[in-house]
Amino acid sequence: MKTQQPTSPFKGRERGRACRPFWAVLTASAILALAPLPAQVIPGRESAPGNPPERVEPAPEAPGLVPGGDGGLQGLTLQADYPKLEIAENRAYIPLFFTVLGTYTGTNDVVVQARFISGTATPGADFELGEPERSLPAQGGLTTMTWIPVPTLLDEVNEGDETALFELSIVGSTNAPVRIEVTLIEDSNPGEVGFVSSRFQINEGSTNGYAQIRLWRTLNTRQAATVAYRLEGPAAALAVLGGQTRRTASFQPGDSQIFVQIPLVNDTTAQGTQDVTLTLEPAEGGMKLMKGYESSVLTLADDETPSPAEPLTISEYDNGGGQRGVMMSTRVARGYQVRLESSDTGAAGPWRPYWIFEGADTERYAFDSFDSSVMRMYRILPPEPLDLTFPW
């Protein structure tokens, strides 16, 4: 499943709005001599889950680099990063995760190959396995976790959970291979259903006009399914969501994720920020509720009571090689968003959109890196209603 992430962080967020400059910090620190590289935001920009996470048992900590006597393949060893893996039968492939450790001075690619050893699953019926392999560049391709994908095959027979034992080895090396035990979970059985996040936020003044809530299910996605959920909260907040206290959501055959749009009623009463709890009711057909995600809190911010703008804090540092860097941070009230812009041509602009900070309980951060020959300035705009429903 895909997360709700536009190609550009500003796409669809500037409709019908005047650009009202707000100088965050009118000091010399807001004007930097620096040059553009792509924006990067440190953790804190949470994204909603995509495909349901599979259960894995991580391997012990990597022992580090292994000294190679001759600098060739014998100086390399394999690590199975997840020696035990459970994956649903209806996934596209089984990912056999591994890392190549050691020292290697050769120029040829390092090839890792997988083969089926034993198990109740059957090659050609439950998965495809010829001679799957992964080639890693000699320079820069080692000591990083990667995987060999083994395509799965769907059938219409409920065979129950099955097992498969795979062996991974470095082609041309006599060093010991590693093994990965895989459990293929029967996808014909009812799975679980839940919200993709335990919390969402939206502003009643969103230009989209709705709050979009996402749900997902595991295992059997071949059949249609309908789930119901209750809405509980202050009467004023429920009124913003149309006044209904019970809604339904339907999965069509093939859907593992659905987007449910709840229309927003933007009133003119200043009522502050309010929370509404969404709780799934017991599902039919044996489908279970996903532990920890059977309920979610939707925070509704009020566009009649916007929070004051917070200052933009800027820290500059030397990256070396004529490059300079900058870290920027600010706080944004939940249900609101703040646009960060930059200019290389002084206060007259033009100003370019750089990033969108969504509301959160903690500070939001962004990084940039520049050539020292460019004079760069930053500014943030006043808080505006959050257009997209944002999970956190």
CATH of residue 219's domain is 2.60.40.2030
Residues 143 and 127 in one domain: yes
- Residue 4 belongs to some domain of the structure: no
232 backbone dihedrals φ, ψ, rounded to 5°: -130, 135
CA distance 308 to 6: 27
Cα-based distances in Å from 63 to 73, 101, 102, 188, 205:
18, 9, 10, 40, 54
- Residue 352 belongs to some domain of the structure: yes
**Residue after which a domain boundary falls, among 285, 301, 317:** 301
pLDDT tens string 110-165: 999 999 999 999 999 999 987 799 999 988 778 889 999 999 988 777 788 899 99
Residues 75 and 33 in one domain: no
Q: Which domain holds residue 347?
A: 28-46+306-391
Helix (H) or strand (E) holding 61: none
**Residue after which a domain boundary falls, among 185, 203, 220:** 185
pLDDT tens string 168-187: 999 999 899 999 999 998 88
- Is 262 within 8 Å of 241 (Cβ atoms)? yes
User: Could you tell me the CATH number of the domain that includes residue 386?
Assistant: 2.60.40
Residue 253 one-letter amino acid:
P
CA distance 257 to 217: 7
CA distance 216 to 206: 24
Give SS3 for 236.
helix
Cα-based distances in Å from 13 to 33, 46, 206, 213:
29, 18, 10, 19
Residues 119 and 145 in one domain: yes
- Residue 9 belongs to some domain of the structure: no
- Residue 133 belongs to some domain of the structure: yes
370 backbone dihedrals φ, ψ, rounded to 5°: -145, 160
Res 138: pLDDT: 83
Task: Tell me the sheet residues that pair with 248.
Answer: 228
Res 146: pLDDT: 94
- Is 387 within 8 Å of 207 (Cβ atoms)? yes
∠ CA(199), CA(203), CA(204), 5° rounding? 120
Residues 203 and 156 in one domain: no
Give SS3 for 247.
strand
Residues 239 and 134 in one domain: no
Residue whose C-alpha is closest to residue 162's, from 132, 188, 190:
188
CA distance 181 to 284: 33
Quote the distance between the C-alpha of residue 107 and its chain's center: 36
Q: Low-confidence residues of the chain, pLDDT below 70?
A: 1-71
Res 277: pLDDT: 97
Question: Among all chains, which residue has been given the structure tokens 């994908």?
Answer: 149
Res 160: pLDDT: 85
Give SS3 for 319.
strand
Res 26: pLDDT: 29
Domain count, the chain: 3
- Is 253 within 8 Å of 87 (Cβ atoms)? no
Question: Among all chains, which residue has been given the structure tokens 């709700």?
Answer: 4
CA atoms within 13 A on the CB side of 207: 10
Residues 166 and 232 in one domain: no
Residues 150 and 71 in one domain: yes
**Residue after which a domain boundary falls, among 128, 151, 185:** 185
CA distance 161 to 88: 9
- Is 368 within 8 Å of 39 (Cβ atoms)? yes
